[in-house]
Amino acid sequence: MLSLQNISASVEDKEILHDISFAFAPGTTYAILGPNGSGKSTLGNTIMGHPDFTLTEGDIFFGETSLKNLSPDERAKLGIFLSFQNPLPLPGVSVMDLFRMALVSSKKLDAMSLHKKVKAFAEELNIKDELLRRSLHEGFSGGEKKKIEVLEAALLEPTVAIFDEIDTGVDVDALKLITTFIKKHLPKETTLVYITHSHKLLSILNPSTVLVLKNGRLIKTGDHTLAEEIEKNGFEQI
Amino acid sequence: MAKEPQSTPDLALDDYRFGFAMPERSVHKTGLGLTEAVVREISAIKEEGPWMLDFRLQALKIFEEKSLPNWGADLGGIDFDAITYYLRATDKQSQSWDDLPQEIKDTYDRIGVPEAEKKFLAGVSAQYESEVVYESVNRELDKLGVIFCDMDTAVKKYPDLVREHFGKLIPSHDNKFAALNSAVWSGGSFVYVPKGVKVNLPLQAYFRINAEAFGQFERTLIIAEEGSYVHYIEGCTAPIYTTNSLHSAVVEIIVKEGARVRYTTVQNWSKNIYNLVTKRARAEKNAVMEWIDCNIGSGVTMKYPAVYLTGEGARGEVLSIAYAGKSQHQDAGAKMFHLAPNTTSRVVSKSIAKDGGRSSYRGMVHIAPGATGSKASVVCDALLLDETSRSDTYPTMRIQEKRSSFEHEATVEKIGEEKLYYLMSRGINKSEAESLLVNGFIEPIVKEIPLEYSIELNRLIQLEMEGSIG
């Protein structure tokens, strides 16, 4: 579905990602691991089309479509979703405002159904009602931010969903709630990609494929045993 | 507008013409330019008493003597000789819908203004369906003893009440444009709310638009007696088109002990307009005056609603929004004069500049000696949408009483790439994302505006951001 073909990416002329190739299959769960600064978040943002990251080499394909010259909203419309590691507060913009713009005005959903859907999802995720009316991410706790991100994923029903450190600031119970929610509400054929360095997340997820990034390179891929190996020996041994 | 020789009014003929609804080329349109004859003509058409004529003539002298302000926006483009100073409502119909600029028509379509309303707003027709609504509102107001009529009528029907307050808060010599308005004013609203009466329905100039509510030199006077309450709304979100290039209004508001007045403006003049308006209120003991001032349209606006806090415990508030797009300069702000103890004031200004537009906050806080325990706060936030736009803050503080407190806070924010990226990653295009952020930015003020206006205001700003207007 989503395939990275020899991609290199830079920020302000500094190359961060070097020659990464990988093809993600539909309906499969992946984990991207790597030490801090290995380029994991950069990879997620490069796929989503962050304006600060330039694809210097290679190309990213979504099916037959090259993403190279597409803006983030065009990529989102194709079915790519990125849950942000640390989303900025958006004063005066509530989650309802956002999705009225994203879904209602493009006629994907009517206002009433949107409202019902958001309410139901929020209840399942233990998100307080009041949070839905407040400015998005403004004064939200770490856990609240992550839950809202996941709620957004469920509303958008992406084909490829990337979750960047969905586990930070989230306790084990909430994490279980979040991952169960994702499994339940995202389409079966959706590719799930978790960027993390948390073993507790990995043990809950049980990803079918693990990708290890180091110094901006994809140095190894394997099944869940690779994750166990890393947990035991650290990244140094790989 | 065709040049016409100045003519003296023939009142008998007027009745005749009016009765037979003779169209166009009315004698009741003064020629181009401003002279004593024009002022006398206006006064005569309106059948005013000598005191108003004197007031006008005096103001004309002051107007001629005063120079243009040497601060604020560039007013060099105003040609006082190319302006028609008085147009009767009937003349305004002479314009045809087809003559309007396409962009104005498009905007009406996109905002979804009903046909009849469109034509009125475009100055095409004076007929408006809400006349009926206005009549029923008026009956309710009558029962309460509230007077709500146009200023011309008030001068005739309530001369004592008008004379007591007219031009007192804003005397003609206040500034050149107050003088101009005083000389040639026409239309505007007169509101009188008796003691203890609370008017729950906002009074809207909208309701009586065929009575010259949108005159270009309108004059509004609101008197709120002790313990009363009224909310007055002027303007509307649909752009108001006129070929005349100057709008210069004067608004005076007297808020007596324990009364509260809220005055909401949504200004969306077409981009060829210089919008130079003087607004001032006096708040007496424990009175509350609130200005909510939204400036979206016009080419140049200079407007600084003021509150004189003259009674102990009085409170003044100005909440303002200014949007400056391509070739617009919004020079707006607020003035607060603390003249009595324990008075409080709050100014919140939100300005947005895009496509080379310029927005300035210009404000004054004066705390006079003896205004002990007074508190003033000013917050001005500017949002710049691109590198070519500009925002300035010109705050003046004159704090002459030590036992008072004053806070000033100003922020300038560039619309964040990171925030845009976030919204776009949810499938919203760039201009929608920008307008979402802009609407979020002004939300604290918009929520103070009645719902039907705030929805339109948000939509209007969204249209402006998409660059689809003007």
β-strands A217-222, A209-214 pairing: antiparallel
Determine the 3-state secondary structure of B275 from DSSP.
strand
Instruction: Say if residues A153 and A186 touch (Cβ distance below 8 Å).
Output: yes
Evaluate if residue B123 carries a pLDDT over 50.
no
- The count of residues in chain A is 238
Evaluate if residue B27 carries a pLDDT over 80.
no
pLDDT of residue A199: 78
- To the nearest whole Å, the CA of B437 is away from the closest chain A CA by 7
pLDDT of residue A237: 75
Could you give the CA distance from residue B248 to residue B179 in angstroms, rounded to a whole number? Answer: 10
Could you give the CA distance from residue B302 to residue B305 in angstroms, rounded to a whole number? Answer: 10
Lowest mean pLDDT among A112-116, A117-121, B91-95, B424-428: B91-95
Determine the 3-state secondary structure of A37 from DSSP.
coil
A77 near B CB under 8 A:
yes
Could you tell me the maximum CA-CA distance found in chain B, to the nearest angstrom? 70
Higher pLDDT, B61 or B121: B61
A9 near B CB under 8 A:
no
In chain B, which residues have their Cβ closer than 8 Å to the Cβ of A46?
A: none
Evaluate if residue B14 carries a pLDDT over 70.
no
Q: Looking at the DSSP assignment, which residues form a beta bridge with residue A76?
A: none
Cβ–Cβ of B416/A88 closer than 8 Å?
yes
Cα B280 to chain centroid distance, Å, stands at 11
Half-sphere exposure of B435 (CA within 13 A, CB side): 19
pLDDT of residue B7: 38
Which 8-state DSSP code applies to residue A79? T
Mean pLDDT score, B394-398 = 94
Which secondary structure element, helix H or strand E, spans residue A55, and what is its range? Answer: strand A53-62
pLDDT of residue B12: 34
pLDDT of residue B29: 62
Q: B-side interface with A, Cβ within 8 Å?
A: 416-419, 421-430, 432-433, 436-437, 439-444
- To the nearest whole Å, the CA of B250 is away from the closest chain A CA by 33
Instruction: Tell which phi-psi region holds residue A137, choosing left (phi > 0), alpha (psi between -120 and 50) or beta.
Output: left
Cβ–Cβ of B425/A88 closer than 8 Å?
no
Mean pLDDT score, B432-456 = 85
Evaluate if residue A220 carries a pLDDT over 80.
yes
Could you give the CA distance from residue B348 to residue B322 in angstroms, rounded to a whole number? Answer: 11
Q: Residue B172: which residues within 8 A CB-CB, separation 6 or more?
A: B55, B58, B59, B62, B63, B178, B179, B182, B183
**Residue B442 main-chain phi, psi, to 5 deg:** -95, 0
> Which of B348, B350, B383, B421 to mutate against chain A (most A CBs within 10 Å)?
B421
The span from the first CA to the last CA of chain B, in angstroms, equals: 21
Measure CB to CB from residue A76 to each of B427, B430, B436 and give the nearest one: B427
A71 near B CB under 8 A:
yes
Token pair of B251 as six digits: 């608004």
Cβ–Cβ of B425/A76 closer than 8 Å?
yes
- To the nearest whole Å, the CA of B452 is away from the closest chain A CA by 17
Nearest CA-CA partner of B281 in B249, B315, B312, B258: B315
pLDDT of residue B22: 29
Lowest mean pLDDT among A36-50, B229-243, B300-314: B229-243
Token pair of B40 as six digits: 């006398």
Cβ–Cβ of B426/A82 closer than 8 Å?
no
Give the dihedral sign, CA A154/A155/A161/A163. Answer: negative
pLDDT of residue B453: 73
pLDDT of residue B459: 75
Q: Residue B350: which residues within 8 A CB-CB, separation 6 or more?
A: B320, B321, B322, B380, B381, B382, B383, B441, B442, B444, B445
Mean pLDDT score, A49-59 = 95
Could you give the CA distance from residue B160 to residue B154 in angstroms, rounded to a whole number? Answer: 10
pLDDT in tens, B76-106: 888 888 887 886 644 443 456 666 666 666 6
Q: CA distances (Å), B273 to each of A214, B93, B206, B247, in order?
A: 61, 20, 20, 7
The span from the first CA to the last CA of chain A, in angstroms, equals: 28
> What confidence category does residue B8 fall into, taking pLDDT thresholds of 50, 70 and 90?
very low
pLDDT of residue B457: 78
pLDDT of residue B125: 38
Evaluate if residue B183 carries a pLDDT over 90.
yes
β-strands A2-11, A53-62 pairing: antiparallel
Q: CA distances (Å), A89 to each of A86, A133, B268, B393, in order?
A: 9, 13, 31, 25
- To the nearest whole Å, the CA of B235 is away from the closest chain A CA by 25
Which secondary structure element, helix H or strand E, spans residue B92, and what is its range? Answer: helix B89-92
Higher pLDDT, B469 or A159: A159
CA trace torsion A18, A21, A25, A30 (10° rounding): -40
A98 near B CB under 8 A:
yes
> What confidence category does residue B140 fall into, taking pLDDT thresholds of 50, 70 and 90?
confident
- To the nearest whole Å, the CA of A238 is away from the closest chain B CA by 34
> What confidence category does residue B16 fall into, taking pLDDT thresholds of 50, 70 and 90?
very low
> What confidence category does residue B154 fall into, taking pLDDT thresholds of 50, 70 and 90?
very high
Instruction: Say if residues B129 and B248 touch (Cβ distance below 8 Å).
Output: no
pLDDT of residue B109: 67
Helices (H) and strands (E) in chain B, counts: 13, 19
Token pair of B214 as six digits: 């949108």
Give the dihedral sign, CA B207/B208/B210/B212. Answer: negative
Which 8-state DSSP code applies to residue B202? P
Could you give the CA distance from residue B144 to residue B231 in angstroms, rounded to a whole number? Answer: 15
> What confidence category does residue B115 fall into, taking pLDDT thresholds of 50, 70 and 90?
low
Measure CB to CB from residue A93 to each of B416, B430, B440 and give the nearest one: B440
Instruction: Say if residues A35 and A22 touch (Cβ distance below 8 Å).
Output: no
Cβ–Cβ of A93/B416 closer than 8 Å?
no
Evaluate if residue B468 carries a pLDDT over 50.
no
For domain A2-233, give the CATH superfamily.
Answer: P-loop containing nucleotide triphosphate hydrolases (3.40.50.300)
Mean pLDDT score, A140-151 = 94
A81 near B CB under 8 A:
yes
Crossing angle for the helix pair B50-65 and B176-184, nearest 10 degrees?
Answer: 150
Evaluate if residue B148 carries a pLDDT over 70.
yes
Higher pLDDT, B260 or B416: B260
Q: What is the mean pLDDT of chain B?
A: 82
The CB density around residue B289, as the number of other CB atoms within 10 Å, is: 31
User: Sheet containing A53-62: which strands, arranged edge to edge?
Assistant: A14-24, A2-11, A53-62, A65-66
Higher pLDDT, A33 or B91: A33
- To the nearest whole Å, the CA of A91 is away from the closest chain B CA by 6
The question of ipTM being above 0.90 is answered as yes
- To the nearest whole Å, the CA of A32 is away from the closest chain B CA by 20
Measure CB to CB from residue A90 to each of B419, B429, B444 and give the nearest one: B419
pLDDT in tens, B293-303: 999 888 999 99
In chain A, which residues have their Cβ closer than 8 Å to the Cβ of B429?
A: 71, 73
Percent of chain B predicted with pLDDT > 70: 77
In chain A, which residues have their Cβ closer than 8 Å to the Cβ of B443?
A: 91-92
In chain B, which residues have their Cβ closer than 8 Å to the Cβ of A49?
A: 424-425
Evaluate if residue B313 carries a pLDDT over 60.
yes
> What confidence category does residue A70 fall into, taking pLDDT thresholds of 50, 70 and 90?
very high
> What confidence category does residue B129 fall into, taking pLDDT thresholds of 50, 70 and 90?
very low
Rg (CA), chain B: 22
Token pair of A47 as six digits: 């796929």
pTM for the predicted model, two decimal places: 0.80
CB pairs under 8 A between A and B: 80
A86 near B CB under 8 A:
no
Instruction: Give the A window 142-201 contacts with B, CB below 8 Å.
Output: 152, 156
pLDDT of residue B89: 47
Q: Which stretches of B215-357 are assigned E, i.e. beta strand?
A: 219-224, 229-235, 246-247, 250-255, 260-267, 274-283, 288-295, 300-303, 306-309, 315-324, 329-338, 344-353
Could you give the CA distance from residue B264 to residue B75 in angstroms, rounded to a whole number? Answer: 26
> What confidence category does residue B237 fall into, taking pLDDT thresholds of 50, 70 and 90?
low
